[in-house]
Amino acid sequence: MPEVLDPVDVVCVGVGWTGGIIAKELAEDGKQVVGIERGQERGPEDYLTMHNELRYALRYEMMQDLSKGTLTFRNNPNQRALPMRQLGSFLPGKGVGGAGVHWNGQTWRFLPYDFQIRSETLDRYGPGKIPEEMQLQDWGITYEELRPYYLEFEKMTGISGAAGNLNGEIQDEGNPFEGPRNEDFPTQPMITSPVLGRFMEASSSVGLHPFMAPSANLSEAYTNPDGVARGPCQYCGYCERFGCEWGAKADPTVTVLPVAQETGNFELRTQCDARRLVYDEKEGRVTGVKYVDTVDNTVYVQPAEVVALTAYGLWNVKLLLLSDIGEPYDPETGEGVVGKNYCYQNFGGSAAGFFDDEEWNLYMGAGALGAAVDDWNGDNFDHTDLDFLHGGNIAISQTGKRPIANNDAPPGVDKEWGAAFKRASVKYHNSTVNISAQGAVLPHRTNYLDLDPTYTDEWGDPLLRMTFDWTEQDRKLAEFEGRRCAEIVEAMNPTKMGVGTSVIGENGHYDIRPYQSTHNTGGAIMGANSDDSVVNSYLQCWDAENLFVPGASAFPHNSGYNPTGTVGALAYRAADGIKQYFKRPRMLG
Ligand SMILES: Cc1cc2nc3c(=O)[nH]c(=O)nc-3n(C[C@H](O)[C@H](O)[C@H](O)COP(=O)(O)OP(=O)(O)OC[C@H]3O[C@@H](n4cnc5c(N)ncnc54)[C@H](O)[C@@H]3O)c2cc1C
pLDDT tens figures, 84-143: 999 999 999 999 999 999 999 999 999 999 999 999 999 999 989 999 999 999 999 999
Residue nearest to atom 9 of ligand 1 (CA): 106
Q: Which residues of 319-349 are buried (b: 16+ CB within 10 A; e: fewer)?
A: bbbbbebbebbebeeeebbbbbbbbbbbbbb
Catalytic member of 102, 390, 444, 519: 519
Question: Measured between alpha carbons, how far is 62 from 98 in angstroms, rounded to an integer?
Answer: 9
Which ligand 1 atom is nearest residue 94's CA? Answer: 47
Residue nearest to atom 37 of ligand 1 (CA): 311
Ranges of H-type helices in 61-186: 112-115, 117-125, 143-157
Question: Measured between alpha carbons, how far is 63 from 61 in angstroms, rounded to an integer?
Answer: 6
575 in Cβ contact with 536 (< 8 Å)? no
Question: Measured between alpha carbons, how far is 563 from 158 in angstroms, rounded to an integer?
Answer: 17
- Domains in the chain: ranges and CATH: 3-45+55-73+89-583 (3.50.50.60)
pLDDT-wise least confident of 285-299, 488-502, 546-560: 488-502
pLDDT at 507: 65
Who's near 127: CB < 8 A, 6+ residues apart? none
SS3 at position 321: helix
378 in Cβ contact with 390 (< 8 Å)? yes
Q: How far is ligand 1, taken at its centre, from the CA of residue 517, in Å?
A: 12
pLDDT at 386: 98
Q: How far is ligand 1, taken at its centre, from the CA of residue 114, in Å?
A: 22
DSSP string of 508-555?
Answer: -S--SSS---S--B-SS-B-SSTTS-SB-TT-EETTEEEEE--SGGG-
- At 363, is the pLDDT very low, low, confident or very high (cuts 50, 70, 90)? very high
Which ligand 1 atom is nearest residue 272's CA? Answer: 43
Question: Measured between alpha carbons, how far is 7 from 69 in angstroms, rounded to an integer?
Answer: 29
3-state helix, strand, coil in the chain (%, to 5): 25, 25, 55
pLDDT at 409: 87
543 in Cβ contact with 284 (< 8 Å)? yes
Residue nearest to atom 27 of ligand 1 (CA): 312
pLDDT at 378: 98
Spell out which residues line ligand 1, taking CB within 6 angstroms: 13-19, 36-39, 91, 93-95, 98-100, 102-107, 240-241, 273-274, 310-313, 315, 367-368, 518, 551-552, 562-564, 567
473 in Cβ contact with 452 (< 8 Å)? no
CA angle 105, 94, 51 (to 5 degrees): 55
Who's near 483: CB < 8 A, 6+ residues apart? 349
Q: Which of 458, 520, 65, 457 is nearest to 314 (CA)?
A: 520
Which amino acid is present at 466? M
Q: Is 383 considered catalytic here? A: no
> Is-above-0.75 flag for pTM?
yes
pLDDT at 403: 86
Is the pLDDT score of 67 beyond 70? yes
Q: Which of 518, 527, 524, 554 is nearest to 438 (CA)?
A: 518
Burial (CB count within 10 angstroms: exposed 0-12, middle 13-18, buried 19+), residue 419? exposed
Q: What is the rounded average pLDDT of the residues 523-544? A: 97
pLDDT at 326: 98
Which ligand 1 atom is nearest residue 39's CA? Answer: 47
Burial (CB count within 10 angstroms: exposed 0-12, middle 13-18, buried 19+), residue 440? buried
Q: How far is ligand 1, taken at its centre, from the CA of residue 54, in Å?
A: 21
Mutate-to-test residue for ligand 1 from 36, 37, 103, highest number of ligand atoms within 8 A of CB: 103
pLDDT at 408: 86
Residue nearest to atom 52 of ligand 1 (CA): 103
DSSP string of 31-74?
Answer: --EEEE-SS----GGGGTT---IIIIIIS-TTB--TTT--EEEE
Report residue 562: phi and psi, to 5°: -60, 150
Who's near 44: CB < 8 A, 6+ residues apart? 243, 244, 245, 246, 247, 253, 254
Is the pLDDT score of 502 beyond 90? no
Query: Distance between alpha carbon 13 and the CA centroid of its chain, in Å?
Result: 18
